[in-house]
Structure 1
Amino acid sequence: MLVVEDDRAIADLICLYLRKDGFGTQVVTDGPAALAAVRAAKPVAVVLDIGLPGADGIEVCRAMRAADDWTPVLFVTARDEEVDRVIGLEIGADDYVTKPFSPRELLARLRSVLRRASLPASGTVLTVGGTRVDLDQRRAWAGDEEVALTSTEFDLLAHLMRQPGRVFERAQLLSAVWGYSAAAGTRTVDVHVAQLRAKLGAHSPIRTVRGVGYSADAA
Structure 2
Amino acid sequence: MTSTAPLIAVVEDEDHLAQGLLFNLQAEGYRTHHEADGDAALAWLLNPSEKPAAVLLDCMLPGTDGFTIVQTLREASIYTPVLLLTARSRPEDILQGIEAGADDYLPKPFDLNILLVRLKSLLRRTSWQQQPPASNEPPPIPDAYSFNHRTIRFDTLELIAPDRTTHLTLMEADLLRFLTDREGQIVSRKDILEQVWRVHEDTDTRAIDNFIVRLRRYIEDDPASPHHLLTVRGIGYRFLAHP
Structure 1, unpaired ranges of 5+: none
Q: CA deviation at 1:94?
A: 1.1
Please name the residue that 2:133 is paired with: none
1:6-155 map, 5 Å: 6-38=13-45, 39-40=47-48, 41-119=50-128, 122-123=141-142, 125-135=144-154, 137-142=156-161, 144-155=163-174
The percentage of aligned residue pairs carrying the same residue is: 37
Distance 2:229 2:65 in 1: 32
Post-superposition Cα deviations, 1:134-180, rounded to whole Å, max 9, x if no partner, equal 356542135644323213322442464467457789779977x77xx
Please, what TM-score do these two structures have when normalized by structure 2? 0.69
Structure 1 runs (4+) deviating above 6 angstroms are: 166-175, 208-215
Structure 2, unpaired ranges of 5+: 1-7, 130-139
Residue identity in the other structure for 1:141 = I
Distance 1:138 1:128 in 2: 16
Contact 1:32 1:54 in 2 (8 A): yes
Q: CA deviation at 1:37?
A: 2.7
- What value does the CA root-mean-square deviation take over the aligned residues? 3.5
Secondary structure (helix, strand or coil) at the match of 2:13 reads: coil
Please name the residue that 1:217 is paired with: 240
Q: Which of the pair has the greater relative contact order for Cα pairs under 8 Å at 6+ separation?
A: 1
Distance 1:217 1:88 in 2: 27
Contact 2:22 2:32 in 1 (8 A): yes
Please, what TM-score do these two structures have when normalized by structure 1? 0.75
Distance 2:149 2:218 in 1: 13
Please name the residue that 1:185 is paired with: 200
The structure with the largest helix share of the pair is 1
Distance 2:98 2:106 in 1: 12
